[in-house]
Structure 1
């Protein structure tokens, strides 16, 4: 499914609430104002200077070239889905190639750093709603640093439906560790001259830029839904040796409802076969289920580089651009002061030990104790290792928390997110409430609820070291006051054996008394539910713990097979 990303860059993200993230291939759907702005930015950009010797060689010779080895990435993690920040991935790819060529350091650079900082990380103009290479360059002209992907909270985490639906980054900017980083002395965007020139000249210019060991940002557009469906089929169903030809869509009328744009990274070419010349492009849609292990595709070289789509004004089908960037040679050092190691804060659930009856409700508090330097934000997951014993049914966050998120409940696990936007938690806070969880108990047994930190940072943006304190919930087996008897119908024995409790949890799953749980037990329970309710100890057959015998008990028993 192609997913259109819009907002002020106007994103038409059409999305069912239960859509799986893995099915979405997002593109940008700019409105007319944004389209015009992108065109004007491209036209105003300086033309990339090309060394004449390299240009002559590009004209006269054929061969293959790839800068893929300069790009440090894991293809499965190079996946923007479901948000529309392809422009960040393509722009960062050009930056990574330049960094590797200038410094010899091949280090993944953070996508999340731009996502979280660009236009404050939220609203219709946030990074996930689309952008251009000029927007990318302007951002780094303001920041002057590139942050490694490996820094705390700098790995890409916005690839989720919450960010899409809320038009907001998942990671607060203050929680991203910016040291170490790479200094950027200067960065400008440059267009590769491909429009208004011959096909030979356009191809020569692109090859010459690649031959100068520079990556290229390719922004291309397709005019309507049918064209995008064709491209998605090509991406999803064909391997990396297939060549995509955009030519069939040239000169079509631009559909303002379904036309869209996408940005990818051009890192090479192969024109050794005159009948099969192509560019090598790196996408940001993952690996197409393994069909594209390198996350790349090929595009036909012999196309119309001045192609347009018709509408209120003519729209260029593609724009080839690059970056002129100067880095410092080494990352900023991390200064370490040797002192007594700090005592980690305690992050845990309270009360820690709980004994309950089946069908009961329990409230647990998630607290951080203490925090030396306040709190900026947190992303924490709580998991029950035995949801049949204890499941998480509700969660609430403190009133001071902003940018909040709670994953779907009831479930065996919940992820909670909050930020202290108004600085309600500051200084040396002793006990900070982060969430309150509602727990419902089920069958007899023991469940341990553990706490896992994805992000937890203080007011300086530094990670808060913690030791996690789990909670243990013990659900006691029901007290069977009168004995379980063989199941009857109108006074006649149906099964001569007495029901048994094979797993000794206080619930009698083996209704026919043959020593195991099988389909005959389900059938017997269904047919004799009323008799069991009137003659057997309820606690022995109340599998959902609600104090009565009902169809839910049969369903739970069936699911236990």
Structure 2
């Protein structure tokens, strides 16, 4: 009996070691299940409820450095000299009425995607100014679909990531679309990208981050530059770094406990050391200013994404205009600017006359190095012949292939050499160079090892021969 028990234990342990790692159990839940929801694993860029009441970004040192590099790589925002006299004559100004928002619903909750809220609002204002469309746009869209540019649900980010996403998708969508309203306030991340309706949409033809010059110039010029962007009727994206728990708590308390008319002095943390496990970043939208005679009442008007409080019914706060624009924090003996002001150059286009976004059909689960066939078709509204451009998401791009008839289904083949998840992007253009929007199709190459039961059958046959007493 003892021999029988020992052999069974050995076999059981051996088989358990071959369970694919993706199914390792924690609290009786697979890792896949944990990543999808109830037991979500939170990374350093993601807000955790244990820290504060509201969402913040948690960049490590390398991420912080990358964000600052992106800021300095961006082109400088255009400053319109014709607005100078108008700015001098204006002591109070706001573009808040250009923005369609519901203060209580503008609440990121525990999610660390604060950056996506002011960035989306800059696009909302531009859509209103350029196209006359007063629309609330979806923040959930980039939160659920950001993996297309390497950013996860509720991860921290910046304007560069935001622009790369919208250059990839070519569209922005209304908040009112199916599953496009904000749903991840508890950082649950269970709204899949495919579940969000992209109809209707607003086509984006171009979108790039632009740096508003505020560093290494006079305070007067820095203030003038920010005002100039606002007077161009553009939203201003403001990001700032809080170096440790003390300063996080200070800002959190200001937001929660102070009144909307109180002014926040944001530069009192200048020169402090950034502590990775404590420091955080946040981003808000600057929508206006007050610049009356005397400096005690000079402030920027900031729109947060933390909902409302009993004393903040509109989700706004005021920030001292006469701040240290060259304020820095220190990380590993390097100085990094604490405050950055940016905006977006975004333009919209009508796709009238262009082909419809292509339809893609084919296998969504494939094997490594195996050739797979995909069918692609589109309808051109003017019945013109069409060409296709295909981005296989592995560094391979086919295009423009064709021409093909409108409505004709073509077949293309592709294989992937590395096990991963890929997003196929396909767009069409007609003979008049009118281009469709991108269509997407997700393909997964499983990273789990398929279990081969042949050797297990052989093993039990050998056990039957060597230890016949086991089967008796």
Tell me the TM-score normalized by structure 2. Answer: 0.63
Alignment of 1:26-425 (within 5 A): 26-58=55-87, 60-119=88-147, 125-161=151-187, 163=188, 169-274=189-294, 275-288=296-309, 290-312=310-332, 313-328=334-349
Q: For the residues of structure 1 that align with 2:133 and 2:353, how far apart are their CA atoms?
A: 13
Q: Comparing both chains, which one has the higher relative contact order based on Cα–Cα distances under 8 Å and sequence gaps of 6 or more?
A: 2
Q: For the residues of structure 1 that align with 2:221 and 2:314, how far apart are their CA atoms?
A: 30
What SS does the aligned partner of 1:141 have?
A: helix
What SS does the aligned partner of 1:128 have?
A: coil
CA gap of 1:460–1:131, structure 2 versus 1, over 3 A, is closer
CA gap of 1:176–1:91, structure 2 versus 1, over 3 A, is same
**Cα shift at 1:311:** 2.5
- The answer to whether residue 51 in structure 2 is matched with residue 25 in structure 1 is no
**Cα shift at 1:302:** 0.3
Summarize deviations over 1:257-306 as a string: whole Å, max 9, x none.
21110010111111024221000111000002x32111111100001111
Q: For the residues of structure 2 that align with 1:240 and 1:271, how far apart are their CA atoms?
A: 17
What SS does the aligned partner of 2:55 have?
A: strand
**Cα shift at 1:175:** 1.2
Q: For the residues of structure 2 that align with 1:14 and 1:210, how far apart are their CA atoms?
A: 34
**Cα shift at 1:13:** 4.0
**Cα shift at 1:254:** 1.8
User: What is the root-mean-square deviation in Å for CA atoms of aligned residues?
Assistant: 2.8
Structure 2 gap ranges (5+): 1-39, 357-420, 422-439, 443-472
**Cα shift at 1:330:** 9.5
CA gap of 1:300–1:316, structure 2 versus 1, over 3 A, is same
Conserved? CA contact 1:183–1:331, under 8 Å: no
CA gap of 1:197–1:15, structure 2 versus 1, over 3 A, is same
Conserved? CA contact 2:112–2:154, under 8 Å: yes
CA gap of 1:149–1:44, structure 2 versus 1, over 3 A, is same
**Cα shift at 1:240:** 1.3
CA gap of 1:244–1:252, structure 2 versus 1, over 3 A, is same
What SS does the aligned partner of 1:314 have?
A: strand
Summarize deviations over 1:495-539 as a string: whole Å, max 9, x none.
xxxxxxxxxxxxxxxxxxxxxxxxxxxxxxxxxxxxxxxxxxxxx
Conserved? CA contact 2:47–2:57, under 8 Å: no
Q: For the residues of structure 2 that align with 1:78 and 1:240, how far apart are their CA atoms?
A: 16
Q: For the residues of structure 2 that align with 1:327 and 1:15, how far apart are their CA atoms?
A: 38
Q: 1:11 is matched with which residue: 45, 50, 56?
A: 45
Structure 1 gap ranges (5+): 164-168, 336-421, 423-458, 462-561
**Cα shift at 1:56:** 4.8
Conserved? CA contact 2:235–2:343, under 8 Å: yes
**Cα shift at 1:224:** 1.3
Q: Which residue in the other structure is 1:352 paired with?
A: none
Q: Which residue in the other structure is 1:443 paired with?
A: none
What SS does the aligned partner of 1:276 have?
A: coil
CA gap of 1:56–1:83, structure 2 versus 1, over 3 A, is same
Q: For the residues of structure 2 that align with 1:266 and 1:29, how far apart are their CA atoms?
A: 22
Structure with larger Rg: 1
What SS does the aligned partner of 1:129 have?
A: coil
CA gap of 1:104–1:329, structure 2 versus 1, over 3 A, is farther
What SS does the aligned partner of 1:322 have?
A: strand
What SS does the aligned partner of 1:137 have?
A: helix
CA gap of 1:120–1:187, structure 2 versus 1, over 3 A, is closer
Q: For the residues of structure 2 that align with 1:255 and 1:217, how far apart are their CA atoms?
A: 24
Runs of 4+ displaced beyond 2 Å: 5-8, 10-16, 55-58, 328-333
Conserved? CA contact 1:184–1:326, under 8 Å: yes
